[in-house]
Amino acid sequence: MRVIVGQGSCGIAAGAGKVYNALEKLMNDQDSFKLGITGCIGMCFLEPIVDIYEGEDLKARLVHVSENDADAIVNAVRNNDIASLSGLFIKDEDKSFLDQQTRIALRNCGIIDPTDINSYKARDGYKALEKVLKMTPEEVIEEVKTSGIGGRGGAGFPTWFKWNAARSSKGEEKYLICNADEGDPGAFMDRAVIESDPHNLIEGMLIGAYAIGAKEAIVYVRAEYPLAIIRLDNAIKQAKEAGLIGENILGSGFSCNIRYMAGAGAFVCGEETALIESLEGKRGMPRLKPPFPAVAGYKMKPSNINNVETFANIAWIINNGGEAFAAMGTEGSKGTKVFAVTGKVVRGGLVEIPMGQTLRHVIFDIAGGIRDGKQIKAVQMGGPSGGCIPERLLDTVIDYKALSATGAIMGSGGMVVMDENTCMVGMAKFFLDFTSKESCGKCVHCRIGTRRMLEILTNIVEGKGKEGDIELLEELCLSIKDGALCGLGQTAPNPVLTTIKYFRDEYEAHIKEHKCPSKECRDLLSYVINPDKCKGCTLCARKCPVQAISGETKQPHTIDQSKCIRCGQCIQGCKFDAISIE
C-alpha cells in the first residue's frame, strides 16, 4: 500500500506538512507500505488530504486530516483495516466535485509525485515529445491547429497561429517563453500545475520550442510562488539528467535548454511585452505593438509566449489527437478550461470543465452553491481585468464570446463568487485599488485615469458621493479603455462598467441616500439600539472601545453616532438582539 499526502501550497497551509512528518515518525523498517507526496488535487476545501492506494487503486481518500490522526492511519494500514478510518472518509457529496470534471491540464495533479520524473513517465510522460520528434514542425503546428486550442491566458488567441508566426519569422535565434506570472487576486491555476505536475509544463514547452524552432525556452514564474519554483527547478534538473533537455534530445538532432526566472512582482508583467522587458532586465513596461513578439520579442528576436495552462494541454493533444480536444467545448471555444473557484461557495478549489457549460453549473453543481444558505449576487470573472456577472445571467455558457457579451472576460480563470452581503460598489473599488497600484505608469490614461476612478469610488463608499459621479465614472472608463497602451489599462474599467450596468441601484443608494444596501460600507452604517428590546444591562457600553454608548442601568441605552466607529463590538456582545445596523 501507499499513503500519499497532498503537498500543494493549499495543503501545506492547512497543515499537510505536519501530517506527513507525524506519519513519517510513526513508520518503521518493518512497515510494508510506503509514504509519499503528491500535489494539489483541486479540493482545497478538504485539505489536508491523505490518499491510501493499493497498487494503482485508490482505496480511501481521507480529508481534513490532522497530525493527531497519524497514529490511527498507520495502524489501520498496518492491520489492513482501512474501514476503521471511516470518520475521515470523503463524503459522497464532496466526491461529486471531481466526478463532474473533465481533466486534461490537471490530469496528473494530485495523483503523481511532482518531485519524481518516473512518476510522470508512468502516466505516459514524455511520450508526446518522443512522438513529436518524429514529426515535422509543420505537422505539430497542424495538430495544434486541429485541436482549436486558444491561449488560456485570457484572450483565447489561436495557439497554432502564434506558433506558426514565430516559426515563419526570419532568423535562427528564436525563443519560447512561458508566462507563469499569475497575478490575478483569487487565481491559482498556474501555481497548482507547476507545483503538482511540472514535467507536464516542461514537455509542453519542449514541443512548442520544437514547433517554432527555438533552442532556448524560459519560464517567467511569479516570485511569490516559492514552492512552484522549487519543484520547477527540480523537474528541469531531472529532465536534463534524463536527456530530455539540452543537446540532441533523444538523438533527434533537436536541442533546447529550459531555464526559469522569478518575476519582478508586478501585475503588469503578465502582459507579454512587459514580461519580455522584465526578462531583459528592464522595468516591466509594455511595448508598442507592432512589431509583435513573434517578429521581435525577447532580445528583439522572434519569440512565442503562452501561459502555463496552454502548455499543460499540449502533450495530451499530441497523444490523443487534436480532434479529440476539439470534440469538447463549443464552436468558438474548444477543449476544457481550468477555473479557480473562490469566494462565498461551499466547495472552493480548482475546476476543469469542457467549454460550453454554464456558470450556474460550476457554482451550484460542482462548487456546491453559496455558503450559509445565502443567495448569490454575482460572480467576478477574469480577475481585476474582468467583470461582475449578476445572478440572472448565470446560465451564460462558458466560452470567450458569450462571456465577453456580458462585459466580463474569460481571463486566466479566476472565478470569485459573491453573496447577497457583498457591496458591488465596494467590490469595484477593491479591484480599482489593485489595478491603479499595479499600473506601470507608462501611459497617462492608465496612470492617472485609474487613480481618478479610485478617488470617485472611495468617495462614494465613504458617503461623499455626489450627483454626476456615475456618469463621470462611465466617461472615464470609456476614455481609459480607448487610450491605454496595454491590456491592463484597457480592461481595468471592466469591474466598474459591469457593476454600474447591473447594479446601478447600489451606486444610486450610496450617492442619493448615503446608504449601503449590503450594509458593508462602514462609513454609511449606523448602529441603533431598539429601546423596546434593550434591558439596560450595560454590557454593550462596557464593550464599546470609544464610550459611544450611554444610559442608566436597566434603562434603554443610546449610541452617539458622532463617536461610533462601527466596530461591531456592541452588536456581538448584546444578548437581547437589541442592536441593529441601518
List, in sequence order, every beta strand (DSSP E) within 503-544. 527-529
The CATH classification number of 117-326 equals: 3.40.50.11540
- CATH 1.20.1440.230-classified regions of the chain: 424-513
Q: Kindly report, residue by residue over 241-294, the tens digit of the pLDDT.
A: 999 999 999 999 999 999 999 997 788 998 999 999 999 999 999 998 999 999
User: Is 128 exposed, middle or buried (CB count within 10 Å of its CB: 0-12, 13-18, 19+)?
Assistant: buried
- The answer to whether 209 and 217 are in contact (CB under 8 A) is yes
Residues 6+ apart with CB under 8 A from 41: 6, 49, 98, 109, 110, 111, 196
> What is the residue whose three cell numbers read 460550453?
356
**Residue 136 DSSP one-character state:** -
Q: Kindly report, residue by residue over 76-113, the tens digit of the pLDDT.
A: 999 999 999 999 999 999 999 999 999 999 999 999 99
- CATH 3.40.50.11540-classified regions of the chain: 117-326
- The answer to whether 65 and 91 are in contact (CB under 8 A) is no
Residues 6+ apart with CB under 8 A from 69: 19, 62, 88
- The answer to whether 165 and 142 are in contact (CB under 8 A) is no
Report how far residue 205's alpha carbon sits from residue 201's, in angstroms, rounded to the nearest whole number.
Answer: 6
- CATH 3.40.30.10-classified regions of the chain: 2-91
Q: What is the dihedral of CA 103, 106, 107, 108, to 10 degrees?
A: -160
One-letter amino acid of 257: N
Cell numbers at 138, concatenated: 509543420
Strand partners for 5? 37, 50
Q: Looking at the domain covering 336-419, what would its CATH class be?
A: alpha beta
Report how far residue 424's alpha carbon sits from residue 506's, in angstroms, rounded to the nearest whole number.
Answer: 7
Strand partners for 134? none
- CATH 3.10.20.600-classified regions of the chain: 336-419
- CATH 3.30.70.20-classified regions of the chain: 526-581
Residue 155: is its pLDDT beyond 80? no
User: Is 315 exposed, middle or buried (CB count within 10 Å of its CB: 0-12, 13-18, 19+)?
Assistant: buried
The model's pTM:
0.93
Report how far residue 435's alpha carbon sits from residue 399's, in angstroms, rounded to the nearest whole number.
Answer: 25
Report how far residue 25's alpha carbon sits from residue 2's, in angstroms, rounded to the nearest whole number.
Answer: 16
**Residue 388 DSSP one-character state:** E
- Report the CATH architecture of 424-513: Up-down Bundle (1.20)
Report how far residue 225's alpha carbon sits from residue 148's, in angstroms, rounded to the nearest whole number.
Answer: 30
pLDDT of residue 383: 84
The CATH classification number of 526-581 equals: 3.30.70.20
Residue 201: is its pLDDT beyond 90? yes
Once rounded to an integer, what is the mean pLDDT over residues 394-418? 91
Helix (H) or strand (E) holding 314: helix 308-320
Q: Kindly report, residue by residue over 166-197, the tens digit of the pLDDT.
A: 999 999 999 999 999 988 888 899 999 999 99
> What is the residue whose three cell numbers read 459621479?
469
What's the topology of domain 2-91? Answer: Glutaredoxin (3.40.30)
